[in-house]
């Protein structure tokens, strides 16, 4: 009986430790590091991009530049790890992706934002952007992704 109790306690600690490690990791990882860090992230993202046509490689592989760390965000009671990926370090205004992965890594969503390059600085990128939704987000998730984009002071 004691051995069974010890095994159950050890299993609970391992499972709880995974969540605690993820929580402690909040803000420590960048979106372009996710696919290389965990097989579950890779598999979930592969399911999302599999249904899309003509996505650039940097979106498929989340291999662009990530200007900031990811953060934990709650939407409709569920926690997500959210962050941006840009095509390249100097091209975030014109080509960026905001991704959200569910805390359990089972779901992922994205909002690909593209603005015509060479847009004059006096023109608002918001008015000229095209948006491609990835992962079939509901209205609440779309709003969450859009809010993340609005956090960028260069986005107006």
Asked whether residue 22 carries a pLDDT value surpassing 80, the answer given is no
Closest CA to 144 of 76, 89, 97: 76
The answer to the question of residue 22 being in a domain is: no
Whether residue 18 has pLDDT greater than 50:
no
Match 């091209």 to its residue by tokens.
91
For residue 45, the enclosing domain spans 29-150
Question: How many domains does the chain fold into?
Answer: 1
Q: Which residues of 84-121 are buried (b: 16+ CB within 10 A; e: fewer)?
A: bbbbeeeebbbbbbbbbbeeebebbbbbbbbbeeeeee
> Is residue 18, in this structure, part of any structural domain at all?
no
Contact 46, 108 (CB under 8 A): no
Q: Is residue 12 part of a domain?
A: no
The answer as to whether 21 is a domain residue is no
Q: What pTM, to 2 d.p., does this model score? A: 0.79
User: Is position 19 within any domain?
Assistant: no
Quick one: which of 59, 136, 127, 129 has its CA closest to 98? 59
Confidence band (pLDDT; 50, 70, 90) for 19? Answer: very low
Read off the pLDDT of residues 39-63 as tens digits, 9 standing for 90 and up. 999 999 999 999 898 999 999 999 9
Q: Is residue 8 in a domain?
A: no
% of the chain exceeding 90 in pLDDT: 63
The domain spanning residue 64 has which CATH number?
3.40.1420.10
DSSP 86: E
The number of beta carbons lying within 10 Å of the beta carbon of residue 46 is: 12
pLDDT at 100: 98
In a domain, 60, yes or no: yes
Percent of the chain residues past pLDDT 70, beyond the cut: 81
Q: pLDDT band at 92, cuts 50/70/90?
A: confident
Residue 4: its pLDDT value, please? 36
- Of the pLDDT bands very low, low, confident and very high (cuts 50, 70, 90), residue 14 is very low
| DSSP one-letter string for 45-76 | HHHHHHT-SS--HHHHTT-SB--S--EEEEET
- Rounded to 5 degrees, what are φ and ψ at 139? -60, -40
Tens-digit pLDDT profile for residues 97-120: 999 999 999 999 999 999 988 777
Q: Is residue 84 part of a domain?
A: yes
């Amino acid at each position: 009986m004691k051995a069974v109790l010890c095994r159950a306690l050890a299993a609970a600690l391992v499972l709880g430790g995974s969540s605690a490690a993820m929580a402690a990791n909040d803000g420590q990882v960048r979106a372009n590091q996710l696919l290389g860090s965990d097989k579950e992230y890779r598999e979930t993202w592969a399911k999302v991009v599999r249904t899309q046509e003509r996505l650039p490689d940097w979106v498929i592989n989340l291999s662009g530049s990530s200007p900031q760390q990811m953060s934990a965000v709650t939407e409709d009671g569920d926690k997500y790890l959210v962050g941006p990926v840009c095509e390249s370090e100097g091209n975030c205004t014109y080509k960026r992706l905001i991704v959200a992965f569910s805390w359990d890594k089972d779901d992922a969503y994205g909002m690909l934002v593209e603005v015509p390059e060479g847009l004059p600085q006096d023109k608002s990128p918001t008015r000229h952007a095209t948006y491609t939704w990835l992962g079939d987000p509901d209205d609440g998730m779309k709003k969450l992704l859009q809010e993340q984009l609005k956090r960028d002071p260069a986005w107006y």
